[in-house]
Amino acid sequence: NGIKEFVTHLNRSRTSLHREPVCIQGERRMGENETGAPCAVELAMQWTNAYSENMCSFTNNIRTIEGGTHVSGFKAALTRTVNSYAATKKILKVDKGEAISGDDIRDGLTVVLSVKVPEPQFEGQTKTKLGNSEVKGLVESLVSEQLGYFLAENPGVARSVVTKAVDAARARDAAR
């Protein structure tokens, strides 16, 4: 799996919170009732002790420096899934309005996200941002589902990820 090695390479000078990058891949059909062409999603991610996010995204092997709908779908799924896990495990006090922001969850996260889209629509002159709106939903559903399974099956990793995010949120609140 090439993107798994890519994530490991990007993190070579950092200390990771878990040994192996989390890998998610799958295919979903686009369009109404999922009758359209298949869209393939492949992603690898690993949290480190760093404080910045490192995101590399691609559409049909073209680097999307400005991100796009696939990145929006990933970020939405990541934020919702980690918050849901933290609430279920009572790490967050949801009744007191506690939630972790996406920025806090992505603190120290290295991600390589690649989608294969049959008819990509790029935005802007430089074609560095994916604009297909349906890609957001299918990346989001796939990542939510598989990341949910991963967190449930790897409670040690899940706890260290949530703890790092909660610490980042508290540090940000204290800085205010």
Residue 33 pLDDT: 63
Q: By the 8 A CB rule, do 17 and 160 touch?
A: yes
Residue 159 pLDDT: 93
Confidence of residue 143 (pLDDT cuts 50, 70, 90): very high
Residue 68 pLDDT: 96
Residues ≥6 apart with Cβ < 8 Å to 122: 59, 62, 64, 68, 128, 129, 130, 131
Kindly state the average pLDDT of the residues 85-113.
88
d(CA 169, CA 166) in angstroms, rounded, equals 5
Pair of tokens at residue 134? 């349906």
Residue 170 pLDDT: 81
* Biggest CA pair distance of the chain: 49
Question: Each residue of 14-60: pLDDT tens digit?
Answer: 999 999 999 999 998 877 666 678 899 999 999 999 989 999 999 99
pLDDT > 70 fraction of the chain, expressed in percent and rounded: 97
- Least Cα distance to 78 among 103, 95, 57, 98 occurs for 103
Asked whether the predicted pLDDT for residue 167 surpasses 70, the reply is yes
pTM value is 0.93
Average pLDDT over the chain, rounded to an integer: 91
Asked whether the predicted pLDDT for residue 95 surpasses 80, the reply is no
- What count of Cα atoms within 13 Å lies in the side-chain half-sphere of residue 124? 10
C-alpha torsion sign, points 92, 94, 96, 102: positive
Kindly state the average pLDDT of the residues 77-103.
87
